Structure 1
Amino acid sequence: MKRLLLWALSALLLTFPATAQDFIPDASFYGENYWTPDTLGNHRVVISVKTPATVTEAYIPWRRRDKDPHQKGIIVMNATTGKIVNNVLPMEINREYGIIRFDAEENAGEYYVYYLPYHTSGGPYPKVNYPQQPDKADPQWKAACSAIPEGKAPRATLVRFESLGSFNSFYPMEIIATEKEKQALMDANSDAPFLLLPEDRKYPIRMFDELSYRQVAKGATGEFFGEADLNEYYVLQLGLWAFKRAVNGAKVTFTDLKGKDGSIIPASAMTCFNTEGMDWLGRPMHPIVDVNKGRIQPLWIGIQMPEHAAKGLYTGTITVSDPVGTQQVKISINLSDNVLVDKGDSDLWRLSRLRWLNSQYGVNDDLVKPFTPMTVTGHTIGVLGRSITTDNLGLPASIRSYFTEEMTSLGKDAKEILAQPMRFVIRQNGKELPIVITSPFRFTRQEKGIVSWTASGKAGNLNVLVDAHMEFDGFMSYQITVKAEENTQVDDIALLTPMNASTAKYRLGMGYEGSLRPKSDKWKWDVDRNQEGFWFGDVNAGMQCLFRAKNYRRPLNTNFYKQQPLNMPYSWYNEGKGGISYKETGKQVNIETYSGKRNILKGEELHFNFLVLVTPFKPIDTMKQWTDRYYHGYQPAEKLKDSDAHAYQAVDVVGETGANVINLHHGNAINPHINYPFFRPAFMKEYVDQSHAKGYKVKIYYTVRELTNHAPELFALKSLGHEIFSPGKGGGYTWLQEHLDDDYIGAWFVDAYKDAAIVNTGISRWHNFYVEGLNWLTKNVGIDGVYIDDLAFDRNTMKRIRRVLENNRPDPRIDVHSANQFNPADGFINSAFLYMEHMPYLDRLWFGEYFKYEKSPAYWLTDVSGIPFGMMSEMLQNGGNPYRGMLYGMTAREPMESVPSQLWKVWDMFGIKDSRMMGYWVSYNPIKTGRNDILATTFVKEGKVMIAIASWADKDSDVTLQIDWSKLGIDPGRAKLTAPAIKGFQEGFVLSPKDKIRVPKDKGYLFILE
């Protein structure tokens, strides 16, 4: 200790080196490296100590973007020994620089200063925090260190800044400018209302609250120069810095770009994605761009270069203005004579795919398979398997289904869903106000894929306008506007929906899991629950009703519902007075969606919107169910000398299970990053081509719920405010916190690829990008469809997806997986209810994690199977229950379970693809058990039948099959009942059809009767 004090006194004579203002952050000081563990942080400074010293001072001009560096710790490591230095004392820590002192007595040489070390919980949703500086220094050392005056300790030399790989680097767009540098730029442009700082696409503006050193070094030159190719979609950016005042309602306009020979690139070829575009429904949009004082707003500009034009320099101007100020930038583009056939899409760095944000691919009313053109006869509108007849106000008076109980075909006899016409009622002073028709029902549009109509009436002082349309899949949208001519008080405004009790057998929604419908119930709006209506129905007839108003915004789902919950529709909700009640009376169920008492002011409009989906949507394609066998996962190949053989080997492994449809997830060598499957298209195409050569289909994980942080367009998308990315509290994996600051929702994380996603909003132009991306993948990679992990878009986007696939691929496939969303985090919503609007366009469901396979047959049928909606499903959680699953034609998937492949062998041995499936719900099913807790589904062929039996009984129980031999064409005297041996499912044995069958609790059997 005496030696330390003597050294400290002698250090007073040393001089303090130059300050950080002399440091120029050019590329020579920034590099990348790799170290472990990564919890040391993603960033470090390499410094050099010339002479060992008990106290050495390091001055670090790090120019940090994080807002609170003084609250985060640092770690000093001896580069020679790899030891952590405990004697460390931060003297001053701010965003521009840090001054630290540390013990370098052990040896001279290089030391590492890690300045963003963190703690992480790990897992797919990591919680990461940056701890404060730990106090590990020896107290005597710290006292002596503190006694040394500023600038008198020996100074370490800055060598370089390093990031853990290039992706973590802050250089150059996240190296902040100092306050002095920003002030100099402001002083030099004091007369400007705001500044425009152009940037090349290679350097996306990443900070919106700070200028980078690169920006202040370049200054506000008012000029931009770029180089482009013919037919390229060229993008650039203007950083609008509101240094003096807020900029409100920024507008962007263009002039033509003119070449020397008189040729032009017209202004019409240019767009600013921040101020204009086309939404996911094909409607023009003009977002309002407001920039608070001090913020930087990137304005991303796209220019479609001509395919044929003279090479050379083209110049013009871009003008940015608000109501009180204007700035211009001269644009010069040197156009080459090289032609890009794909507008630049093959080169991700060009960011040409930003134009996909405004794509209108598939925005039309064209039919998709298996739907048929709509028909209109009088007031009756027909679609595949269903029809509705309206009354004079345009409301459904009759809704019919022509699906048979087997759900594989249509019948001649209709099943009526309504017991009486639906009615919109207004009650006042204890009485119902009659609605007098003022403009009778009339069609406004009749096409193959959509039919629209309107009508209006009057009830007292209230005008009622009905605008509605129906689409080819059985979807109906009603917009009912109630407008007051005078101040009016009403007791209630309600929609009455009387359903046939025999049709309304099961229910979904209204706060319950799928079940048989009770005789009566009441439901109230609750923001904690993502519920907005009901589905009542049977296997072959039903209807979903959803109640909305103009304030509807698609909620987030799958763990994120509470961050963006359902907006209560102000018309139906009515400050908590609204709700739904129903009661079975005789042969009908009277359902009333009410809104309660209210005062309506003169001129006020209320929007009582509701949607109707008539189920089922289409006949079940059992052939797909029996012949599409899923392998869910990427099977990597071993490293082989013959590079062309590796994909073949991987595909062969899939084929050995009996699977023939491969779902290629993300987080693997072919598709590393979530929902951006464009990084390795050649590798993916090789895998797809070789799968096709084996006769297998390949679908990829691709959806819009969240987006990888590796997406090249990430910061351009962030510049659009909350249009693409949901607002949130930030957090999550380190990269997100270090490069996005806050105001986002961290999502799924895959550690192997450091792939951290952020959550998208429910509806945005990202849906356009997604559809165009799918178009690109089907054409350039040859994928056969998509595997969608929970649906975050609406039915309109799903229709476009189906159109893309049917236009580009023969016999495409879409399957949707969902975890059970009936829980607090997801708003207690049935996955089947939530995704019902998408089911007309799906080929298969996979419901999924956390589904309650121990629950009743009614739950299986409605919440899991998909059968009442015209499709079929599969199981996941713990393999499901294979015995009960067979009642609904379901298995699990390979390679997650071993049972599916064993069942598939029996299916093929029996010839299930040529059979007729008759579930236990089919009234004319030829084989029954006589019990409600042990059920049987039959798969009938000529001369033999496969029988699936499954039990919900609370103990092992006996059943004797009740067989209608006349329907089977089998001689009962010669018939035998065989339980084939199925590994992992059942042992083999033979019975007489008359024998009692002992069915184990929660299990069952698969028999062949012949």
Structure 2
Amino acid sequence: MKKLLFSSLMLIAPLAYAQNKDKLTHPIDVDAIRETKLTGYIGLNPTVMSKPATPAQANSFLKKFPGKKYFTFPEGHENSIRLLDSLPEKWTSYNTEAQTNFKGKAQPGEYYTFQIGVYANETPLKNVKVSFSPLSSSNGQVIKDVTCFNTGGISFKGEPFSKSVQLKAKHVLPLWFGVQIPEDYKGEFRGRVEIKPEGLPATFVNVSVNVSGNLMVNHGFNDETTLARLAWLNTKVGLDDGITNGFKQVTRAQKDISILGRTVKLSEQGLPADIQTFFDKNNELIVSRGEPILASPIKFVIQQNGKELELKAGTIKFEDHFPASTHWETKLTHGDITVTVKGRADYDGFIGYSATVSSAKDVAIDDIRIQVPLRPEKATYMMGLDKEGGFRPKDWHWKWDVIEKHQDEVWMGAVNGGLKLKLKGKNYQRQLVNLYYPFGPLHEPESWGNGSKGGIDIFDENQSVMIKAYSGQRILKKGETYLFDAEFLVTPFKLINKSIQFNDRYYHSDIDTTSNTIKLALEHGANIINVHHKKDIYPFLDYPFANDNTPDLKAFIDSTHNKGLKTKIYYTTREISVNAPELWAMRALGDEIIYPGPGMATRTLVNPNGVHPWLGQNLKENFIPGWVATFTSGKYKGRQDLAILTRPDSRLNNFFLGGMEWMCKELQIDGIYMDDLALDRETMQRTRKILERERPGGKIDMHTWNHYNKYAKWASSLNLYMDMLPYIDHLWVGEARDYNKSADYWLIEVSGVPFGLSSQMLNKGGNPWRGMVFGITNRLGWFKAKTPEHIWKFWDDYQIERKQMIGFWNDEIPVKTNNPKTEATIYKGKDEVIIAVANWTSDPQKCKLNIDWKSLGLSPDQITAEIPEIIEFQEARKIDVTKEIELEGEKGFLIVIKRK
């Protein structure tokens, strides 16, 4: 969450599932939501479109047009239509001519927007059709690029779509239009909009746009008042088969597919028969010899009368989309049953499947399932399906329950090779995240769930660890199709970038003002500044390009660049500020972008005692209140920024991308900071492409609150966002993390190492001694956390980036402790080795370091060993590494061994 949720107040959650003791306690940070409890003013004034007509005014107006079923009211973009449940007072003065004629002014090159409000009188309007002619001038120039955002556009997947529009009686429908004026056009352009509800006569609105003046800068995107940014709803930016930095292109030889550090061989079913990983055990190198992840081929199974049906496989047909992906299709048949398998493999490690099952007659079956047999050494750890990340239990049994469990996926693996399985059906809808999950939960797949008959069993079988995702008994009905989708992610995604891990040093402040930000960042050794929202230079959530703050934000970024710093901006999807001028147009699109919900009746952790009255007065109904940011100092002191929830997988993704491109070009940002995002993998891919193409060297870091609690319904955060991770540079794994949990939990849930990423700690600064076992620190500047600058200095003094990190998870590590309550990781150089050793208990522990001197390339009688001073971490002293050492509870040492 924005202001970091959940870590002090202990809540006891019921132990709903006996196999899982992880649910006994989970902490909530009351400091994280402190700003939502403050009061303030909203600072948004009513407009002429906010004032409803009185009943007398409305009746008087309607009496002038007896028998008229609906009305049209053209408006410019200057006055966004706000009222949906009543007639605005302004419109009661419109005569027939005013209702059917619109005149606007635009500049050459402008993306010009306007609206036509439709009011249904006594009866609802069904299937309202909107069409428009080109705009033409007297000299023959024609503008054909005209859009009605309400009736269609370009989806977040880049596909054209259209939709039906309805309108309740006594309600208003704002139809929003966009017109791209060519840069070399001037004059008066005329056209006509036709509005035709089903069963009613059409209304024609004449449109005249006078184009004059200077060329509009950047189509009007630089000025929020033009509402030209609505064009971003339909952007196609980043939609291509290009790949992002750090990966290699997909190659294919027959059924053998190769991507960065991994190969996949397909079976006759079109499913993976073999997956090899070529990452070393530290995820620092690609090696020549692969290690298998699967024990045997993944298999799609249909069982009838206790026996597996023999599915006859057809020819696999490929369609390559190099360099980014390859796609294929095949058919499996048995008697009357046909399974159409469509698959794809992408350069990032994604392997997606759609298996469509149909039957020529009604057929009773026992089960349809997928079997994924992993090699035991590549199933050491597990995360998901009600299990927090860590060592895999011997057996695990899970059933669908999307209301109480935010779960539909599981990852199992080792550090250098693993596999995530996610199950989807025809009715898949991307869920809301974090504490809003209950308002927009997953849909149980009609295929895999099968009325809660389905589930997943994990167990040992024939020298493998089997994931069996089953659906149970059903009758396949003639003429019906059943969609059994499965998505795999092969991990790790990429090599750990040690320059990012050890050289990217963030300053990330939680205070409202930025006057001292650059000074503090420089003084304490940071080289990247993250600008959070709720700042004097960036006040409104996910809307960093407001006119009120953009000049100051641009000046700040320029200043950081002049001083050799990079600046990244908080920018994500999930909620939208009420200060976004486009809010009203987005609301006019029905539930396409604004997520519908209980409105003023909503109660969440952020709004436990009720919703801010401004939302009720202005949005009235059918919304979900989101974050509340209260300014306590600076330019916006006393003001509150309210937000509402948005729908995932909507054209808001496109709007997000349009804003991303604009900030890269106009503000020269060096990347973005993402916070519990609601994006799909393809949009994240496009985001990365934009950043790399417009701002080479730009970075993306991602924060996630711990979703494993009763509010977010027991999701594993890195499972939830795993398909985002290929495009992330740094993780900031956040609040509600219990840093007293075991090292295997740290490895899977916190460190990022199994996915080819580095990370940082959040909750009260984490534990620096345990953090160094994974090469991570906390973040400079954040709320009540110790500074990491002294560890950064140690990194520089001992050139840690140039050393090979070998973690305790690697069975070939040359330094091991003899006490299982402690762990050690080394950073190995030619003449110098750093040992990070930490105590994973609250009690003092003694341990001996078992050192393989030959593997280190050192001799015990030719070295010196010391514990160097690190402020707030350890005091300097000599140490004999051949003898037992004592570690304080929850602490440890950084020990430096040097060749004499």
TM-score of the aligned structures, taking structure 2 as reference length = 0.91
Match of 1:432 among 304, 308, 327: 308
Question: What is the identity, as a one-letter code, of the residue corresponding to 1:349?
Answer: T
2:416 partner letter: N
Using the alignment, how far apart are the partners of 1:235 and 1:952 within structure 2? Answer: 60
Alpha-carbon shift at residue 431 of structure 1 (Å): 1.2
Deviation at 1:364, TM superposition (A): 1.9
State whether structure 2 residue 832 is matched by structure 1 residue 956: no
Q: Secondary structure at the match of 1:571?
A: coil
Letter of the aligned partner of 1:696 in structure 2?
A: L
Kept after mapping to 2: 8 A contact 1:976/1:1009: yes
Residue identity opposite 2:194 in structure 1: T
CA contact (8 A) 1:635 1:650 kept: no
Is the counterpart of residue 498 in structure 1 residue 373 in structure 2?
yes
- Residue by residue, what CA displacement relative to the aligned partner does 1:505-527 show, whole Å, maximum 9, x if unpaired? 00000101012111111110111
Amino acid paired to 1:711: A
What residue ranges of structure 1 are gaps of 5+ in the alignment? 1-121, 129-163, 639-645
> Which of 591, 600, 614 is the aligned partner of 1:735?
614
- The SS at the match of 2:48 is coil
What fraction of aligned residue pairs are identical, expressed as a percent? 36
Asked if the contact 2:426–2:482 (Cα under 8 Å) also holds between the matched residues in 1, the reply is: no
What is the aligned partner in structure 1 of residue 664 from structure 2? 778
Q: How does 1:355-366 map to 2 (within 5 A)?
A: 355-366=231-242
Check conservation: 1:976, 1:993, Cα contact below 8 A: no
Q: Are the equivalent residues in 2 in contact too, given 1:125–1:747 (CA < 8 A)?
A: no
2:413 paired with 1:546: no
Residues 41 and 640, structure 2, Cα contact 8 Å, conserved in 1: no
Distance 1:204 1:517 in 2: 55
- 1:943, 1:968 within 8 Å by CA — same for their partners in 2? no
Could you tell me which amino acid in structure 2 is paired with residue 224 of structure 1? F
User: Which of these residues, 989, 993, 997, is aligned with residue 877 of structure 2?
Assistant: 989
Tell me, what secondary structure is at the counterpart of 1:700? strand
Q: Which residue of 2 aligns with 1:509?
A: 384
The residue that corresponds to 1:866 in the other structure is: 752
Instruction: Choose from 229, 246, 261 the match for 2:139.
Output: 261
1:899 shift after superposition: 3.9
Whether the 8 Å CA contact 1:168–1:735 is kept in 2: the answer is no
1:872 CA drift (Å)? 1.1
Partner deviation per Cα, 1:424-474 (whole Å, 9 max, x = no partner): 11111111111112x321213342111000110212321111011111111
1:715 pairs with 2:584: yes
Does residue 618 of the first structure (1) align with residue 494 of the second (2)? yes
Corresponding residue number in structure 2 for 1:113? none
Distance 1:491 1:635 in 2: 59
| Residue number among 212, 231, 247 corresponding to 2:88 in the alignment | 212
Q: Pick from 573, 593, 596: which aligns with 1:724?
A: 593
Matched, 1:944 2:819: no
Residue 975 (str. 1) matches residue 844 (str. 2): no
Query: Residues of 2 paired with 1:288 and 1:625: CA distance?
Result: 50
Counterpart residue number, 1:291:
167
* CA displacement at 1:982 relative to structure 2: 1.7
Q: Residue by residue, what CA displacement relative to the aligned partner does 1:769-821 show, whole Å, maximum 9, x if unpaired?
A: 10110100011111110000112111111001100000011211100001100
Kept in 1: contact 2:765–2:786 (CA 8 A): no
- Secondary structure of the residue that 1:986 maps to in structure 2? coil
Q: Answer whether contact 2:598 2:623 (CA < 8 A) is retained.
A: yes
User: How big is each residue's C-alpha offset from its partner over 1:219-260, in whole Å with a ceiling of 9 and x where there is no partner?
Assistant: 442111111111111111101111132111111111222323
Partner of 2:346: 471
State whether residues 899 and 985 of structure 1, in contact with CA within 8 Å, keep that contact through their aligned partners in structure 2: no
Map 1:758-797 → 2, pairs under 5 A: 758-797=644-683
Say which of 346, 349, 353 aligns to 2:225: 349
SS in 1 for 2:738: coil
| Alpha-carbon offset, residue 166 of structure 1 | 9.4
2:705 is the alignment partner of 1:819? yes
User: Which amino acid in structure 1 is aligned with residue 123 of structure 2?
Assistant: R
Give 1:744's match in structure 2, choosing from 606, 618, 623.
623
Aligned to 1:683: 552
Superposed CA offset, 1:279-310 (max 9, x none): 11101111211101111100001111121123
Do the aligned residues in 1 keep the contact of 2:326 with 2:345 (CA within 8 Å)? yes
1:224 aligns with 2:102: yes
Q: How far apart in 2 are the matches of 1:171 and 1:665?
A: 30
Distance 2:672 2:252 in 1: 34
The 1-side partners of 2:736 and 2:885 are apart by 31
SS at match of 1:937: strand
2:591 aligned counterpart, secondary structure? coil
Q: How does 1:646-685 map to 2 (within 5 A)?
A: 650-679=517-546, 680-685=549-554
Contact between 1:433 and 1:460, CA under 8 Å: does it hold in 2?
Answer: no
SS in 2 for 1:427: strand
Name which of structure 1's ranges 871-880 and 984-993 shifts more when overlaid on structure 2. Answer: 984-993
Residue 23 (structure 2) aligns with: none
Shift of 1:346: 1.6
CA distance in 2, matches of 1:393, 1:585: 22
Alignment correspondent of 1:803: 689
Cα deviation, 1:900-948, whole Å, max 9, x if unaligned, reads 1111111111111211111111222221112322111111112111110
Counterpart pick for 2:280 among 393, 396, 404 = 404
Distance in 1 between residues matched to 2:890 and 2:307, nearest whole Å: 54
Match of 1:582 in 2: 458
Per-residue deviation, 1:955: 2.9
Maintained 8 Å contact 1:629/1:659: yes
Q: Which has the higher contact order (CA 8 A, sep 6+)?
A: 2
Q: Is the 8 A contact 1:441 1:454 kept in 2?
A: yes
CA contact (8 A) 1:502 1:587 kept: no
Q: Does 1:374 align with 2:246?
A: no
CA distance in 2, matches of 1:165, 1:305: 39
Q: Equivalent of 2:195, from 314, 320, 343? A: 320
* Cα shift at 1:635: 7.5
| Residue among 334, 344, 356 paired with 1:459 | 334
Residue by residue over 1:640-689, the C-alpha shift from the partner in whole angstroms, topping out at 9 and shown as x without a partner, is: xxxxxx6xx64122111111111100101111100000022221121111
Note the C-alpha offset of 1:898. Answer: 2.9
Separation in 2, partners of 1:837, 1:296: 40
Tell me if 1:238 matches 2:128. Answer: no
Does the residue aligned with 2:826 lie in a helix, a strand or coil? Answer: strand
* Higher mean displacement: 451-460 or 572-581: 451-460
Instruction: State the one-letter code of the partner of 1:960.
Output: K
Is the 1:847–1:875 Cα contact (8 Å) retained in structure 2? Answer: yes
- Kept in 2, the 8 Å contact 1:275–1:286? The answer is yes
1:1005 is aligned to 2:880: no
CA distance in 2, matches of 1:324, 1:371: 56
Local SS of the residue matching 2:552: helix
- The Cα shift of 1:193 comes to 3.5
Residues in 2 aligned to 1:431 and 1:636: alpha-carbon distance in whole angstroms? 65
**Deviation per residue, 1:741-787 (Å, 9 max, x gap):** 12111111112232101111121101101011010001111111000
Q: Give the SS at the match of 2:478.
A: coil
SS in 2 for 1:904: helix
For 1:660 and 1:636, how far apart are their aligned partners in 2? 20
Give the secondary structure class of the aligned counterpart of 1:531: coil
> Hey, what does 1:562 align to over in structure 2?
438
Q: Is the 8 A contact 2:269 2:299 kept in 1?
A: no
Query: Which of residues 887, 905, 908 in structure 1 aligns to 2:793?
Result: 905
Q: 1:328 to 1:191 in 2, by over 3 A?
A: farther
Amino acid at match of 1:500: R
- 2:366 maps to a residue whose letter is D
Aligned pairs for 1:432-451 (under 5 A) are 432-437=308-313, 439-451=314-326
Structure 1 stretch displaced more, 609-618 or 898-907: 898-907
Is the partner of 1:556 in helix, strand or coil? coil
Distance in 2, Cα, partners of 1:906 & 1:996: 24
TM superposition shift of 1:373: 1.0
In structure 1, C-alpha distance between the alignment counterparts of 2:762 and 2:561, rounded to whole Å:
26
Cα gap change, 1:469 to 1:634, in 2 (>3 Å): same
Structure 1 residue 983: Cα displacement: 1.9
Alignment partner of 2:288: what SS?
strand
Q: Once the two structures are superposed, what CA deviation does each residue of 1:368-407 show, in whole Å capped at 9, x if it has no partner? A: 0111111111211110000111111201111111100010
Please state how far the C-alpha of 1:622 moved relative to its aligned partner.
Answer: 1.3
State the secondary structure of the residue aligned to 2:654.
helix
**Native 8 Å contact 1:210 1:296 kept in 2:** yes
CA–CA distance in structure 1, aligned partners of residues 628 and 511 of structure 2: 21
CA distance in 1, matches of 2:210, 2:842: 79
